[in-house]
Chain A
Amino acid sequence: MGGAAVRLEHLSKVYPDGTRALNDITLSVKPGEFLVIIGLSGSGKSTLMRCINRLIEPSSGKVFIDDVDVTALSPEGLRQIRRQIGMIFQQFNLVKRASVLTNVLSGRLGYVPPVWSLTNYFPRDLRLQALGHLTTVGIPEKTHTRADQLSGGQQQRVGIARALMQDPKLILADEPVASLDPATSHSVLRYVEDLNRRDGITVMCSLHFLSLARRYGTRVVALKGGEIVFDGLPKEIDEARFKGIYGDEAIEVEIA
């Protein structure tokens, strides 16, 4: 399994209220990269992520995944491409009243016949696969627990397992650790890093903490006001660049 290449061309997003969230973004992500996107709240990180799988419709510009123009796809074609893009959310976005197993299996919905959903049916091999992914993220014993009974870190691991069910070529992680404590943040990001290194899945991950960006990213892109203000290696972000991204009054906070 390999990673996908992502190419954004002159991507812009203007919300109906006039907010210009993305302004002419052009960016190319190579297969197997661990791209970290940093920037202040409201700098356009979430919008950028969601424009890639068109959870948010871009106003103009193009998105290519492995040379497929996502912005030009029909609803059916969009569903096909979304199946290959795993997504991880800040608030985990699990179905809270459903079991962990159902949540993980729901990652596979794009591949199974819709009528199966009426009885929540998934064949045996998929259920075994789900159990395998839960073992990968270290919580096989939680299979039949209700999702809302889990801690934040465990919920995010279920979120990763759900993304894994998709056999993704690309993982979009929108602030995956912003709701977690430092120790849990590292353990969650390490799972994502493993997928990136072992399976070569391309990862685009937005993060709050620069220290995490330096630790996990192979490349860092900084957004400010919907524009790219930095694109380079993690170690290249010095004091001056930091103030350029976060503003003059910002002080870097370390996360252990």
Chain B
Amino acid sequence: MDPSATTPLPRAPDIPKPGGGALRVLAWLAALTLIYVYGWKVTQINLVELATKWSLAKPLLYDLIRPDLIQRYPRLQRADAGIGLDGTPSPPPEIRGEGRITVTPQTARQGDRVTVIAEGFAPSRPIEIIWRDQAGSTATVAKGTTDASGRFGTTIAVPNVIGTAHHVVAQVTLEGTTLGPSNTLRLTLFRMVETIFLALMGTTMAVIFAVPLSFLGAKNLMSRSAVSLWIYYAIRTIFNIARSIEPLIMATVFAVWVGIGPFAGVLALGVHSIASLGKLYSEQIESIDPGPIEAITATGASMLQIVRYAVVPQIVPPFIAFTIYRWDINVRLSTVIGFVGGGGLGFLLIQYINLLQWRQAATAVWAITAVVAAMDYLSSAVRERVV
């Protein structure tokens, strides 16, 4: 054989490259650039407008730092007297004040003229005589001014009203005004309480359903037979579907179903929380330590005792922690689902926003912030203690 014949060169050993070559990196970079360029266009990002048009938001932001908290109220002196219609005895007076009002006769019929005398009020001030009916609605029936001794007398005709027990109110407007919490603040505080309870009821409803369901959704308990495994898959699927439907959409549906208001919110939060709590609970059950169960079984304990001593201590504290965490989330959500008719603070906020009442809206915004911050603190404090 010819020794000069070419012998094949030894092949260079395949040297592994870490994560591919430079070309692949460049390709990735190009793809990323394309994605972000398109994203910039599609979301209409405009930094120029952000910089130049900020003055448009100024009044709005300015109102945000001066929420509607207090307002001036006229100072009033009031007194009332009962009047019975159609032969019914007159009801007792309900307001206690400095002044006095007398009605004669105390029993009358519709259209009768009765004499009203108000005494003991501030002198030379405007006075209104107001008819308050059985249901609490009011109508001014006479106006005037008190004399130098604080007295005012007139005759009025009994108006065309329903019911038998009514009151005649004398209301004198004094000089000056008083400061008090604004109507907005009162309304906001009321809605705040509603929000907290809305979240509480929704969470409670979720716990009631999620606890039993979570046992059916725990693989370690349900993998014993084919039937139970199918139940497990069914429960998990329901959890996943229910969790992926936004509470906002659920609230919309329930607001149509049961009417706008907190109940729709409770249902929306409840259904959503069943799914998310159910999943968390199930995973907790799946991760329990089988050791204590084995140990308690080995002592000759009964099934009930095994559950009580080996299972419950392992799942109850995390269950409580998850539940409080969920309540916390639900308080946040409840402010938003109000936008679509779920009641609570959000319902109030969207009304103010739609009416362009920014200062009132600011009150609601700050209330939401306060509630969320308080719940956040509370839930972390409780979780720290429990777990």
Determine if B47 is an interface residue (Cβ-Cβ < 8 Å). no
Determine if A89 is an interface residue (Cβ-Cβ < 8 Å). yes
Q: Which residues of B contact A91 (CB under 8 A)?
A: 291
Stretch at the interface among B52-60, B80-88, B307-315, B354-362: B307-315
* A247–B302 CA distance with the chains assembled, in angstroms: 43
When the two chains form their complex, are residues B294 and A89 in contact, meaning their CB atoms are under 8 A apart? yes
Selected contact of B305 from candidates A84, A96, A114, A172, CB within 8 Å:
A114
When the two chains form their complex, are residues B310 and A95 in contact, meaning their CB atoms are under 8 A apart? yes
Task: Tally chain B residues at the interface, Cβ within 8 Å.
Answer: 20
Determine if A118 is an interface residue (Cβ-Cβ < 8 Å). yes
Quick one: closest A residue to B304, CB to CB? A114
Quick one: closest B residue to A85, CB to CB? B298
* A109–B295 CA distance with the chains assembled, in angstroms: 11
Determine if B299 is an interface residue (Cβ-Cβ < 8 Å). yes
Determine if A93 is an interface residue (Cβ-Cβ < 8 Å). yes
Chain B, residues 280-318, CB within 8 Å of chain A (1/0): the string is: 000000000101101111111110110011100110010
Q: Which residues of B contact A83 (CB under 8 A)?
A: 299-300
Q: Which residues of B contact A172 (CB under 8 A)?
A: 298
Shortest distance in angstroms between B80's beta carbon and chain A's nearest beta carbon?
A: 57
Q: Which residues of B contact A117 (CB under 8 A)?
A: 304-305, 308-309
Chain A, residues 84-98, CB within 8 Å of chain B (1/0): the string is: 110101011111111
* A165–B314 CA distance with the chains assembled, in angstroms: 23
When the two chains form their complex, are residues A118 and B291 in contact, meaning their CB atoms are under 8 A apart? no
Q: Which of A50-104 contact B (CB under 8 A)?
A: 53, 55, 79-85, 87, 89, 91-98, 102
* A111–B299 CA distance with the chains assembled, in angstroms: 9
Q: Which residues of A contact B294 (CB under 8 A)?
A: 55, 89, 93
Q: Which of B258-283 contact A (CB under 8 A)?
A: none
Residues of B within 8 A of A (CB): 289, 291-292, 294-302, 304-305, 308-310, 313-314, 317
A-B contact pairs, 16 of them (CB 8 A): A55-B297, A82-B298, A82-B300, A89-B295, A93-B295, A95-B296, A96-B289, A97-B314, A97-B317, A98-B309, A106-B296, A106-B301, A109-B296, A109-B309, A110-B301, A165-B299
Residues of A within 8 A of B (CB): 53, 55, 79-85, 87, 89, 91-98, 102, 106-111, 114, 117-118, 120, 159, 162, 165-166, 172
